[in-house]
Structure 1
């Protein structure tokens, strides 16, 4: 499989695209005005303890107080998705025995503020490097579950046991460490020890609401987290960013540094692979399939739903075979769309109904295989009695749509508008209400051109009846600035 990382830098925005076999798979965006805070450490103060929620709200200097659950205080540190193999921690004691109001506390952000919710915090700190994650409050030595070769797992554990030997801290060996030498891992251990000492020193002098530790900028994080042996090139269109990336790569991944190159082509780097077009398509609800079928992706506050349809695909054999082929293609497309759109939380996939159990197993296997390369942790469940596939995908940042878009000012995010006819009848009711409450010889209605045109053309008889009933004259005036649902009734 061919992979490339494309980095597009402008003065106020940086975008990183992960392209596999010429197809955009992931897009990460960082803007100067709204940089993500996941991974950052802060000196916080407990504002309020909520025993009924087993949680506390902590002031860390962001717009909204952040959320700290009791389980995030007591459990084993949170690390990169899929990279811990520790058992589930025991139930935490009451939150009131763990923290109290006014208490100063060092916390790490594990989830950005999303929607109306504040950031989510943990006190169990984890510091990532190229190949390792340092767990300063744990003694476990774990290996990423994605390293499946038992011989390699044993080799890495042996190396780490020798490197750590009595240091009193824990480490998780990341997926990128597969095949790396003891020397490379030793360099990471030294780097993390220095970083942790700097953090400890800073935590004693930092004031409440100030940042103690700042995670790397997006380009450096992308190289640290996405750069693997099967990544052919990292193309960056900024000389300054290229120089920083090269310095970082030479220090932490010298064997891969030669794959980083400064892109100086006339065409924008994202245009090489049609990334801009893919971003625009990722804003649409409908996702076409090559067979002629299509998906409908609908993100709501509670969950994301994906509906699979055969569309124009008729197949060549029978209905069951047509449905099976469509669902197989849809499973691959769903896996890609979840990564591309960065959709998280609860996800419900409504595949087309199948009667063959083997076909169902194959569709699930295809979905799981497509999700195997996803950096976010995913859990897929079997088909429900209603024929739905339920799954979860860990969410730490806003979805792509919510990063790039805002609710429609016309419909306030409903996705639909009242018809002109509905607005007309609302106007008639408002006219009747106004006349009963206030004295006026005439009324002026200001509304959108579409509504006024429909009133004067199709509802003129109703207007005449209303004028006769009220004994008042009614005039209508168009205003281009009015949305379809807006109108004003003015008493003259």
Structure 2
């Protein structure tokens, strides 16, 4: 189960990062001069227009297209209201936060005591009764609801963070609730939330251990933190050290914002090398192999600052043959642009992104080793579930995904395939919800968009065949 992180920083215009595990590509990130991400960047912006019909504001934050700021993403500190009204809103928000934290803590304690009525919320599982959940959350809003045109005015200066990158003709989605990611925790400097735990850590024992550490750590009153999945097995000192680093970053952001004129960039999210070490590197990673002097120095300096004990794992690639060719990564990356993916058993997947959804079809192909049809279907589906989890991650497929599994008669076999897919999707950074396999053999799942995919898809209806043809356009600038 050895992992190796490969970084190709030898080209001045492009940097590529690949995480390889047992000869399979587990994760892939790239960044080019023409395609730099602005997600998580912090800007000082100016409200250019308030749109009552959308209950949102458009913010000029220094880009060609103005950003979209929903009313729900505006912190109450920015409301232009009398001080007494603002204090009342703050009190109500504080009450709601306390109720939610007590509720989650009680649930965890009851599960540990063996109360079977309280269920663990699996983050990958699609909730069955969604209406019930929304009713519960509706009650928890403050008593008086304002409209955006009453509290936000044009030309108001506002500190915003990019939630979603610009895509097509859409502008970036913004939020005033700032969050700064570290290796083990995420700091929310303007949300007085105390200590929270990632939903992906859903084991009650782990959550109780982390909560104990959070109660011992001194978190500033006006701030909140969330422990990331990478911090689930870390000590108090490691989490506290990460918190101190992030508070230093926030203080420098505040100083820059106070001395800047809107619109301007205040804080840039780490570049691809730092980001990949922060998000992809873990204790299972044997080494980080880097091609390119500048990239090697950057990685070394970042590791020295964040994890000095792990510095020896960073190695420079010095051979004449390019790193990705020597490790056979280039060939595997080229397969991302193919719609057909071969499985080792002889079966294959056909991946077709369309305008509305991504369809994945599983075919048994030459897979005929098993004694009967049901066993062949189960084995091919289990192998396909592992490969699908890998493919949606490295291709960054998002939105609604429909998987057409080979028909299985046994209910237990269907559950086994569902379980395998959920297990493999757990270490995906994107938010994922997975449904059940229906009577037709179809499984619905949804995946959060992290970045714009490196494959451009257009659908054309041709006059000759009157059939839909999916044409892949690879962006080369």
Settle same-fold status: TM greater than 0.5. yes
Q: After superposition, where does 1:104-143 map in structure 2 within 5 Å?
A: 104-138=157-191, 139-143=193-197
Which 10-residue stretch deviates more, 176-185 or 6-15?
A: 176-185
Question: CA 1:247 to 1:48, structure 2 compared with 1: closer, same or farther past 3 Å?
Answer: same
Question: CA 1:165 to 1:330, structure 2 compared with 1: closer, same or farther past 3 Å?
Answer: closer
Which 10-residue stretch deviates more, 369-378 or 155-164?
A: 155-164
Instruction: Measure, in 2, the Cα distance between the counterparts of 1:123 and 1:166.
Output: 19
Give yes or no for the alignment of 1:266 onto 2:267.
no
Give yes or no for the alignment of 1:390 onto 2:460.
no
Question: CA 1:302 to 1:70, structure 2 compared with 1: closer, same or farther past 3 Å?
Answer: farther
Instruction: Measure, in 2, the Cα distance between the counterparts of 1:247 and 1:67.
Output: 36
Query: Hey, what does 1:239 align to over in structure 2?
Result: 293
Instruction: Measure, in 2, the Cα distance between the counterparts of 1:293 and 1:305.
Output: 17
Q: After superposition, where does 1:225-374 map in structure 2 within 5 Å?
A: 225-374=279-428
Q: How far is 1:97 from its partner?
A: 4.0
Secondary structure of the residue aligned to 1:52 is coil
Query: Hey, what does 1:102 align to over in structure 2?
Result: 155
Unaligned runs of 5+ in 1: 408-412, 423-492
Give yes or no for the alignment of 1:199 onto 2:200.
no
Instruction: Measure, in 2, the Cα distance between the counterparts of 1:323 and 1:190.
Output: 52
Q: How far is 1:306 from its partner?
A: 1.0
What TM-score does the superposition give when structure 2 sets the normalisation length? 0.78
Question: CA 1:316 to 1:172, structure 2 compared with 1: closer, same or farther past 3 Å?
Answer: closer
Instruction: Measure, in 2, the Cα distance between the counterparts of 1:317 and 1:252.
Output: 53
Q: How far is 1:342 from its partner?
A: 0.9
Question: Contact between 2:200 and 2:426, CA under 8 Å: does it hold in 1?
Answer: no
Instruction: Measure, in 2, the Cα distance between the counterparts of 1:382 and 1:305.
Output: 16
Instruction: Measure, in 2, the Cα distance between the counterparts of 1:99 and 1:61.
Output: 20
Secondary structure of the residue aligned to 1:33 is helix
Question: CA 1:196 to 1:312, structure 2 compared with 1: closer, same or farther past 3 Å?
Answer: same
Instruction: Measure, in 2, the Cα distance between the counterparts of 1:264 and 1:416.
Output: 50
The equivalent position to 2:241 in structure 1, one of 171, 182, 187, is 187
RMSD: 2.6
Q: How far is 1:151 from its partner?
A: 5.1
Secondary structure of the residue aligned to 2:445 is strand
The number of equivalent residue pairs is 405
Instruction: Measure, in 1, the Cα distance between the counterparts of 2:175 and 2:420.
Output: 35
> Over residues 409-459 of structure 1, what are the superposed CA-to-partner deviations in whole Å (9 max), with x where a residue is unaligned?
xxxx3356544x99xxxxxxxxxxxxxxxxxxxxxxxxxxxxxxxxxxxxx
Question: Contact between 2:67 and 2:174, CA under 8 Å: does it hold in 1?
Answer: yes
What TM-score does the superposition give when structure 1 sets the normalisation length? 0.76
Secondary structure of the residue aligned to 1:201 is helix
Query: Hey, what does 1:3 align to over in structure 2?
Result: 3
Unaligned runs of 5+ in 2: 77-92, 98-122, 125-135, 467-477
Question: Contact between 2:28 and 2:394, CA under 8 Å: does it hold in 1?
Answer: yes
Query: Hey, what does 1:435 align to over in structure 2?
Result: none
Secondary structure of the residue aligned to 1:414 is strand
Give yes or no for the alignment of 1:210 onto 2:210.
no
Larger RCO, structures 1/2 (Cα 8 Å, 6+ apart) = 2
Q: How far is 1:148 from its partner?
A: 5.3
Question: Contact between 1:54 and 1:95, CA under 8 Å: does it hold in 2?
Answer: yes
